């Protein structure tokens, strides 16, 4: 009997060997390529905007007080000193005999209570439309009348044709004049420090994940079961 089994075992084993080999290849040998996805971690640069403070100098306007002197008068012109009171009460002009020059007399009455020296400027017009200016002065007591005399002799044969005059009287304090110190305001520009804000870019390194596709080989059995 044992001999009979041995006799039949060998052909059976020879016929089953290829089948067993194919089963092993089917079950364990990675011969099928498949794809798969995995999550991968990586580093990346990202830009963020950060709020940042900074200071600047900016102008602004303020009212600054200052003192000034204001002048008040009852009459115009408003001056601290005014001419004393006077009257021109008369005058005369004459040419010297033989054309040797000319002379002028002007009578002034000081009607004020203050004495002083009066100056008179004369504008002479000579024959032939020749003009010249001369001046004379005279001290006159308060309430008195005096004459201011001028002569012109540098140009012979020049006859006086006409004249005008301007009286410069001594001055006295203006009784209606007053000064007052007052406070005024003016705009001035000053500079102050002001805080402002701006957004500035900055880069940060962050960790991110991404899905990547990989490839591997699996057995036919695993492929049938899992894929």
81-173 has which CATH code?
A: 2.60.40.10
CA distances 34 to 11, 126, 209, 214, 221, Å, are: 39, 135, 23, 8, 13
Answer left, alpha or beta for residue 90, where phi above 0 means left and psi between -120 and 50 means alpha: left
The reply to whether omega before 77 is within 30° of 0 (cis) is: yes
Whether 23 has a pLDDT exceeding 90, the answer reads no
Query: Do 169 and 82 meet the contact criterion of CB atoms below 8 Å apart?
Result: no
Between CA 104 and CA 114 the distance in angstroms is: 26
Sorted by where each begins, the domain ranges of the chain are: 28-62+190-226, 81-173
pLDDT at site 5: 45
Strand partners, 202: 48
Place of tokens 């403070």: 53
Residue 175 tokens read as 């009784």
Question: pLDDT digits over 144-202, tens only?
Answer: 999 999 988 875 656 788 899 999 999 999 888 888 889 999 999 989 899 999 898 88
Question: pLDDT digits over 96-116, tens only?
Answer: 876 678 889 999 999 999 999
Whether 219 has a pLDDT exceeding 60, the answer reads yes
pLDDT at site 129: 81
Question: pLDDT digits over 203-218, tens only?
Answer: 888 888 888 887 777 7
């Amino acid at each position: 009997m044992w001999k009979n089994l041995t006799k039949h075992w060998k052909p059976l084993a020879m016929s089953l060997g290829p089948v067993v080999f194919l089963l092993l290849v089917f079950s364990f040998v990675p011969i099928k390529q498949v794809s798969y996805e995995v999550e991968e971690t990586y580093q990346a640069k990202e830009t963020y905007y950060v709020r940042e403070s900074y200071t600047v100098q900016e102008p602004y306007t303020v009212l600054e007080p200052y003192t000034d002197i204001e002048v008040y008068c009852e009459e115009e012109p408003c001056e601290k000193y005014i001419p004393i009171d006077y009257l021109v009460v008369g005058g005369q002009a004459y040419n010297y005999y033989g054309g040797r020059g000319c002379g002028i007399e002007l009578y002034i009455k000081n009607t004020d209570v203050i004495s002083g020296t009066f100056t008179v400027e004369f504008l002479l017009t000579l024959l032939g439309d020749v003009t010249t200016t001369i001046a004379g002065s005279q001290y006159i007591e308060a309430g008195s009348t005096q004459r201011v005399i001028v002569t012109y002799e540098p140009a012979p044969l020049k006859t006086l044709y006409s004249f005008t005059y301007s009286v410069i009287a001594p001055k006295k304090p203006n009784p209606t004049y007053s000064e007052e110190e007052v406070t005024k305001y003016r705009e001035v520009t000053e500079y102050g420090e002001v805080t402002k804000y701006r957004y500035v870019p900055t880069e940060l390194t962050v960790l991110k994940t991404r899905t990547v596709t990989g490839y591997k080989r699996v057995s036919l059995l695993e492929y049938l079961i899992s894929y």
